[in-house]
Amino acid sequence: MATDHPDLAPDTLTVAAGRPPREHDAPVNVPIVLSTTYHETRAPQPGDRIYARGSSPTWDPFEEALGALEGADLPALVFGSGLGAAAAALSLVPTGGAVVMPRHAYAGSISLAGDLAAQGRFELLAVDIADTDAVLGTLDALAHRFEAGQVMLWLESPTNPMLEVADLAVLTDAAHAHGALVVADNTFNTPMVHRPLEAGVDVVLHSVTKWLAGHSDVVLGALATSDAALRGRLLAHRTLHGAIAGPFEVWLALRGLRTLALRMERSQSTAAFLALHLADHPAVRRVRYPGLASDPGHERAAAQFNGFGGIVSIELDDVATADAVVEAVRLWLPATSLGGVESLVERRRRQPAEPATVPEALVRLSVGIENPEDLWADLEQALRRATGGRDGGL
């Protein structure tokens, strides 16, 4: 945990945390333990493994490392998917309560929350998370209708795919003042860019599939908290609902985590390079990237984050142009998801769950670790082909 590594920077923790004991001839890397059950030599005690649905020696190092990276006082909890982790987080809302969620967020979280709201589990309110006054007004209104502990504020910053930036500390403090629980999806930023627990957030969520694992080869999720009671409830949900991860997938995620700092550094620097070039391209109507000084969320992101992330969204003239760009790229991969070593491109409204407020011609770019000039050359030729060489001959 963070308390075990008080003097280590996050980029060092990605390499040092979650290692086996230093013993003669012991392995440097943790082994994969493929067992569904464990020896019992006495009556079961709290903390005993007993059965692999509850815990695994292969989960422990990853959970320790991620907990330390997020600055938690406790190990994180790994789940079989990001949506499994989101389901566990939403289970903290009591029946009849309310959830305040960004109108733009991970489509799975929005869809799941909407489905639960339709079943009558809780009331769902969608807000513009970058409009601090509006969110505060929503929390104030809910405080008159709900008791402490009945409301959850769900944060995602930057949002997917609009890259809106929330004032996390202000919103978290206001939510807590009303007795609300706060969950923050930190998938886009990762702990390399921001640690929401330090802003007072109660639970941090990750789609480990994305930046943390980083190689587009595992599907996993995770939650981190410093609250032992909350962790206990989340662990109980994982165990009872079976949203567990396979040991091999978690081992791969830990291996991916070792290079997170380097991958994020490269992706962020390339994203900034591409955003500047795209902002000057006459075929691009708008670039959404908090690293641009002209971006509405720039000042807020600069004040809160240690970087601006590896996602860039652009808006083109129309759907046909956007689809043509995606079809014309040769180095970028047309695919959903994000955070892998390879650069991905997608027109987001192709996804049926994407909110109608996302522009039809918005294209999301997940920037990988390829050569920046090569990525730009491919985007530039795709824009040229998609626009038929118009707009200044580009």
pLDDT in tens, 175-229: 999 999 999 999 999 999 999 999 999 999 999 999 999 999 999 999 999 999 9
Q: Which residues of 304-338 are buried (b: 16+ CB within 10 A; e: fewer)?
A: bbebbbbbbbbbbeeeebbbbbbebbebbbeeeeb
Q: How far apart are alpha carbons 232 and 13 in whole angstroms?
A: 25
Give the pair of three-digit tokens for residue 137. Answer: 């007004």
Q: What is the pLDDT of residue 391?
A: 46
Q: Where are the domains of the chain?
A: 2-257, 261-386
Of the candidates 146, 164, 148, the one whose C-alpha atom is nearest the C-alpha of residue 156 is: 164
Q: Which pLDDT value is given to residue 353? A: 85
The HSE-up count of residue 104 (CA atoms within 13 Å, CB side) is 20
Question: Which residues are the active-site residues?
Answer: 53, 106, 185, 210
Query: 138-152, 203-217, 276-290, 347-361 — which is least confidently predicted?
Result: 347-361
Determine the average pLDDT of the residues in 93-113: 97
DSSP state at residue 245? P
Averaged over 83-112, what is the pLDDT?
97
Res 41: pLDDT: 85
Which CATH number is 2-257's, of 3.40.640.10, 3.40.50.720, 3.40.50.2020, 3.40.50.880? 3.40.640.10
Could you give phi then psi for residue 102, rounded to 5 degrees? -60, 140
What is the predicted pLDDT for the residue at 2?
Answer: 61
The pLDDT value recorded for residue 43 is 85
* Beta bridge pairs of residue 203: 183
Mean pLDDT of 350-379: 96
pLDDT at residue 394 is higher than 50: no
pLDDT at 3: 59
- Cα 288 to Cα 65, 271, 279: the distances in Å are 32, 11, 9
Does residue 392 carry a pLDDT above 60?
A: no
pTM of the model: 0.95
- Is the distance from CB of 136 to CB of 178 less than 8 angstroms? no
Q: Does domain 261-386 correspond to CATH entry 2.40.160.20? A: no
